[in-house]
Structure 1
């Protein structure tokens, strides 16, 4: 995937996440929990179709079976090309779970009765959704590990690029999904906690938005860092001892340092601004984060840069001797 295509995809994902979390805030009866998406909405659609009449009920049943069999069907066609692996049996479990989960999503009244969960319908749907995602992500992780250990160098570069694309998508999901959802929840809590005095909440709303920007900024900076990482991988694929690979590694190290600097300064600036205006604010959020993982990652990139430089110099010396 070229950079332009990746940027367009991430932009579309960001818009989708914002719309999805706005829908959750506006339509809580059909978006009760994000982890239940899209199973809750599929269940609601199947229920509507089922209650529309005999024909609708028939098509709802057919769709229910077909959707639940998707993982099993994928496994069936995959096994025509290769031998079964241990993680493949998780797809069978996933199909069985889909039958179970979608049944309760179609009949949400049963969540609080026979299942005896001890909590509300919303939490029950979240639990059902988490069951699906836990099995799905476990399968993906085990499958990726198997592919990595069985791949040659060329395929490793390709797989690593794909993982970086997915990592970009996760950062965008966190920034424009969960962080944005947290902003909406903070605004709702501030409004409900200050009923009757809403006219004086303007500055507090502004600081909530500012807090969202500060919290989402590291994710977006990480996306830019990944762009440099993808460029480095592509250059290494073309030639491990090339000048462009060394330059790409140096650019990645600079991008890491820049991202860390901006992140640290943004947290300090936000806390200082809160301190300056704390008498006028109805809500305060102290933010202290130590980006240990980012520091370790940057150190590893700096080490890689030096290794590439030394390897390139050694190869040039060997070429001159030969």
Structure 2
């Protein structure tokens, strides 16, 4: 029975973060899951192998022990004692990782679904195991997670919504709270892929995809809208109607508002997810210059221009 390179099994290196390990495990577990590879014995064995590697590398204590002892695990088993103390006493460079031997050894005959190497390294094969644990019973593996995307309108994201859908013949319902944002991931526990050997089901993750709205642009919790006004309102000021996701509201345009100026309607933006607060509605003003002036209108503009010139002097 030889050393098992769990990093090689998951396709990661020793410096990989817990997030890297989780990502690699999920990818391989989904690829080799028995539900997807029914009847393929080699895929089933690979699935067990991947689960064992994840069992070690996703557990900080197991991973520390595994990294510290490395290929010297056999010598430690014979020496006994505290594994951390033993690892510190070894010359550097001895923790070389390798994989040799008959792959059929990997799964052992102990009924746990884990290899003989795992059982001896972390305990579970009686007093002979230097992990010091009791013999493990038959082990079940949690099923893989399912991930899906759900398109949601901006209005649904604003008001909140309930969606009902069917998965594997079962009707499921999710609640979308007000203020939902693009990429928000909702979890439905126990609605993923079935487990193996009595293991729990995986979970269902639904990522929300907020659809574009032709009237508004969302930036965080603020909404942006462009409103075109005529020159006279820009100069003289006045009231204009502004669309919101709950209907139109009146807004005052100050005298002398420049083209491109942004006005704010406080609290008229998106709900802040999970709170009672709201963002703001930002109104970008676009001034529409009058075209096709009549002779009389043109004369009046010339008169106004003359008055301005006289005031400058």
* TM-score computed with the length of structure 2 as normaliser: 0.21
Point out the structure with the larger strand share: 2
Point out the structure with the larger helix share: 1
* TM-score computed with the length of structure 1 as normaliser: 0.21
Structure with the greater alpha carbon radius of gyration: 2
